[in-house]
Amino acid sequence: MTPSPPPSRSSRSPLPDGLPIPSEDDFTSRLRSPAVAARVGLWLGISFGVCFLTGLISHYAQNGNQPIPFPASPFWGYRVTQGLHVISGTAAIPLLLVKLWAVYPRLFQSMPWGNVRAMAVTGLERLSIAVLVAGGVFMLLTGLLNTAQWYPWSFSFRPTHYAVAWVTIGALVVHIAVKLPVIRDALTGDVEDTTHDRPSAVETGALSRRGLLRTTWAATGIAVLATAGSTVPFLRNVSVLAVRTGDGPQGVPINRSARAAQVTMEEGGAGWTLDVVNGEGVATSWSRSDLEQLTQRTETLPIACVEGWSASAEWTGVRLRDLLDAAGVPTGTDLRMVSLQKRYAFGVTELQGNFADADKTLVALKLNGEDLSLDHGYPARLIAPNRPGVLQTKWLTSVEVI
């Protein structure tokens, strides 16, 4: 079959000739086919879906207002959902690039000028695609930079990433609904099928369609393997691009150091106490050696950082509930965990009653058998099960009843 010559541009669009805007028919590779786009799109859709759901979980877990309390068990739950969030987001990057490449010629599709209804439908569909592409690129880019802890923007990451996620998923649902007949056809048919191809998409190149797909799956696999070690322990040595290797002091990475938080060893020194404060004032006050005299517990719990790494460790200290009992704080009480840190976010966090009461929730004094280093939160830190790392408050100095 020989392709029919593309119609002259002026007959299809009111744009003047000579503008350097290509026409859809200028793209001739038969790899840019719905048969390819649908297969890559399927996995991209799955990645976006997993990313969205795990993102909702993470957002909820960090929310101060929880109509249904986020559960304190299983202790590894948040580590898994956050790991999946980062892995699916990473996988989506090569998938999105190939998908955009495969459908790129559609950007230059001519409008059905003259037919108002058809123009409105096409216009709306294109608007939804524009939102989807912009939103998808925004989500993956901000997510990736977040794992690199690089914030070259002035907006606040979490609310923005969260809001754009809804917009992007909305546009994705519209896109899938509009394309469903083509998607179904493409996925049930052979990958070489040309039914839905543009007439000009006939040129073969260095890669076959199967070759392109295999390359795409390989690139996706490499992207995941190169980074997943920041959260999957046995991949640590293959993950050459992992932002966190898991080899921080005392076997756990550090997100914000004492120096960055402007907390000094003097503040955590002889004069330091951990106070439990209720409505009437300081109910109890313990020095570090007081805490060491109390019953010590050891729990294996992960730090699962919202910025994409996680690491399990053995924490030893006093069960928080024991301290609350001593101070006469009833079960189910929400608390404010206050640290020595005066500047920047996360110096103060909220701990829901069900977390405060959980058996595994500790005021940790030791990490992997040694006294906490200052960077890990000396003299005492919170460590609770199934909790975002950002809320595992270091350098604790008081626990206040809300």
Ligand X SMILES: Nc1nc2c(c(=O)[nH]1)N[C@H]1C(S)=C(S)[C@@H](COP(=O)(O)O)O[C@H]1N2
Q: Nearer Cβ to ligand X, position 272 or 395?
A: 395
Q: Interface with ligand X includes 346 (CB under 6 A)?
A: yes
- Find the residue with minimal CB distance to ligand X: 389
Least gap, CB of 82 to ligand X (angstroms) = 10
Q: Is 347 in the site for ligand X (CB under 6 A)?
A: yes
**Binding partner selected for residue 376 from ligand X, Mo ion, none, CB under the kind-specific 5 to 8 Å limit:** ligand X
Contacting residue, 303, 320, 323, 384, with ligand X by CB under 6 A:
303
CA 105/CA 164 separation, integer angstroms: 26
| Sole binder of ligand X in the list 23, 239, 393, 397 (CB under 6 A) | 393
| Residue 345 beta carbon to ligand X: minimum distance, rounded to whole angstroms | 7
Q: Which is nearer to ligand X, 90 or 339 (CB)?
A: 339
Nearer to ligand X, 103 or 254 (CB): 254
Handedness of CA 214, 217, 221, 223 (dihedral sign): positive
Selected binder of ligand X within 200, 339, 352, 398 (CB under 6 A):
339
Contact segment (CB under 5 A) with Mo ion among 44-52, 237-245, 281-289, 383-391 equals: 383-391
What's CA 351's distance to the chain center, in Å?
A: 22
With a CB cutoff of 8 Å and minimum separation 6, the contacts of 221 are none
**Angle ∠(391,392,394) on CA atoms, nearest 5:** 115
Strand 396-401 and strand 274-278: pairing? parallel
Q: Which residues pair with 301 in a beta bridge?
A: 313
Tell me if 392 contacts ligand X by CB under 6 A.
yes
In the complex, the smallest distance separating the C-beta of residue 300 from ligand X, rounded to whole angstroms, is: 15
Indicate whether 395 belongs to the interface with ligand X (CB under 6 A).
yes
Residue 364, interface with ligand X (CB under 6 A)?
no
By CB under 6 A, residue 85 contacts ligand X: no
Q: Is 143 in the site for ligand X (CB under 6 A)?
A: no
The conformational region for residue 368 under phi > 0 = left, psi -120 to 50 = alpha, else beta, is left
Q: Could you tell me the smallest distance in angstroms from the CB atom of residue 389 to ligand X?
A: 3
Closest approach, Cβ 402 to ligand X, in A, equals 18
Query: Contact region for ligand X (CB under 6 A) — 29-37, 237-245, 268-276, 388-396?
Result: 388-396
Q: Which of 59, 126, 256, 336 binds ligand X (CB under 6 A)?
A: 256
283 touches ligand X (CB under 6 A): no
**Binding positions for Mo ion, 227-256, rule CB under 5 A:** 255
Residue 254 binding result from Mo ion, ligand X, none, given CB thresholds of 5 to 8 Å by partner type: ligand X
Nearby residues of 169 by Cβ (< 8 Å), 6 or more positions away = 48, 52
How far apart are the C-alpha atoms of 397 and 378, rounded to whole Å? 10
Q: Name the segment binding ligand X (CB under 6 A); options: 69-77, 124-132, 200-208, 339-347.
A: 339-347
Q: How far apart are CA 357 and CA 312, in angstroms?
A: 21
What is the footprint of ligand X within residues 214-253 (CB under 6 A)? Answer: 252-253
CB 276 within 8 A of CB 399: yes
Q: Which residue number, 184 or 259, has a Cβ lying nearer to ligand X?
A: 259
C-beta closer to ligand X: residue 128 or 341: 341
The binding site for Mo ion (CB under 5 A) comprises 255, 305, 389-390
